[in-house]
Amino acid sequence: MGSLNALLGTIQDGLAAQQAGLDVTGQNITNVSTPGYVDRSAVLEEQPLGGVNVAEIQRSFNSFTYSQVLVAHGQNTSSQTLSSTLGEAQAVVAPQGGAAVSDTMNTFFSSLQTLTANPSDPSTRSAVLASAAQLAQSFSTTANGLSQLQSSIFSQAQSYATALNKSLSQIAALNSQISQAQASGDNAPDLRDQRDTLVTSVADTIGAKVVADPSGSVTLFAAGGVLVGGNKASALEVSLDASGAMKFAVSNPGGVPIDLTSGVTQGKLGGLREARDVDIANTATQLDQLAYNFSNAVNAVQSTGYGLDGVSGRPLFAPPATVAGAAAAMTVDPSVAGQPGNIGAAASAQDVPGGNDVAIQLAQLATQPLNGGGSPSSQFASLASQLGSAKSAADTDAATRADMMTQAENLNSSASGVSLNEEMVNLTRFQQAFQASTQVLQTTDSLLSQFMTAMSTA
């Protein structure tokens, strides 16, 4: 009788173990397309007195392939963000509809060329003033557009940092929950999946690297700093330094902020930083330099000319005080604005009104090199070309990084993802084992019934 009872206990354990295997297999099949889900398996172990039980539910997690996924995500989102942001900058520098600096510059010099043939014609002089105002407005609009784009990027970066800090707090909380569960013998696969998904989102934002701890928690690194350690989460702050560039600092619990700026090269934040503080900043600086040099070159010639009133010394554009901000502040000088007769076209008062020597010199500026080399139009073309080259390089890199991320995810999926073929094999195996245990149970039950009958008739 004791042996039969022991056998029943063994069978019950076997049925429970096979049922657990069936449950895990069913869960795997159900989540085959769930992002971030890692394949599970029921680990069975033999009991000392016979039979089998479930030792643990184990995740088929591969730390190496997952680390490659994190690297790929950080690099991919950085390049994609850089590419799209530089596209926005291109739209500012070279807008559609003929409003680019190069277009208005051509119109300006064309009006000056017309002035050389008709220096005393009021409508021709008015056309020169109108084109000068349009050119100044084009410089200003482009500079302000770049500045607004930089402000928008800064706001985006702050928004990403806010979302990032929320994820860091959640990762720290999951670290604590997983450690507690592991200490009680629960591997907590669902919690680990949640944590991995959050870590991947961090990689998309700023890059990420994780180091696992035997307790079940992870330490999360990014940009050269620790973002999460155990149940403690740091906070990322985004501000502007004295030069106006973005500054990234991490505040560890109980510590002082640590500057991570130079390490922010991956994720969306890395892409935004490179676009804003490198490519767009360089474009804005070159535009200011061009506006400064151009205004001074035109003014140097214009101020030698005499207007229809016989007065000289007037600039055409308001003289820029400094290179920085020259493009945004560019405008027609008040001494000439609204007064086409004040344009200095003649070389002397005696040449008024038909003199055109200075008008010819102004028109010739179209092909003469400014400070820094190159004609005005060629300098702007170089500025636009550099931005275009940066955009083209970013596009190429973005395509490459996207392919690399796909490869990394496929490799990780083959190591940690659900294989329907394997799950069907497991399903069959557990079903057969369950059926076998059921048959043994039926046989044991029959023997027990026979034993009880024999005992009652004895």
pLDDT digits over 282-313, tens only? 999 999 999 999 999 999 999 999 999 999 99
* Mean pLDDT along residues 428-447: 60
Q: Identify the pLDDT of residue 277.
A: 98
CA 163, CA 157: separation in Å to the nearest integer? 10
Q: Identify the pLDDT of residue 101.
A: 94
CA 457, CA 196: separation in Å to the nearest integer? 65
* Mean pLDDT along residues 234-250: 96
Q: Is 118 helix (H, G, I), strand (E, B) or coil?
A: coil
pLDDT at 326 exceeding the cut of 80: yes
pLDDT band of 427, cuts 50, 70, 90: low
Is the N-terminal amide bond of 214 cis, ω within 30° of 0? no
N- to C-terminal Cα separation, the chain: 16
pLDDT at 175 exceeding the cut of 70: yes
Q: Average per-residue pLDDT in the chain?
A: 87
* Mean pLDDT along residues 98-104: 87
Residues contacting residue 79 through CB under 8 Å, at least 6 positions apart: 271, 394, 397, 398, 400, 401
pLDDT at 433 exceeding the cut of 90: no
Q: What is the pTM of this model?
A: 0.84
pLDDT at 113 exceeding the cut of 90: yes
Q: Which H or E run includes 158?
A: helix 122-183
CA 150, CA 284: separation in Å to the nearest integer? 10
Which tens digit of pLDDT belongs to each residue from 1-51? Answer: 445 555 555 666 656 666 655 666 666 566 656 666 765 666 666 666 656
Domains of the chain, by residue range, sit at: 2-58+417-457, 61-414
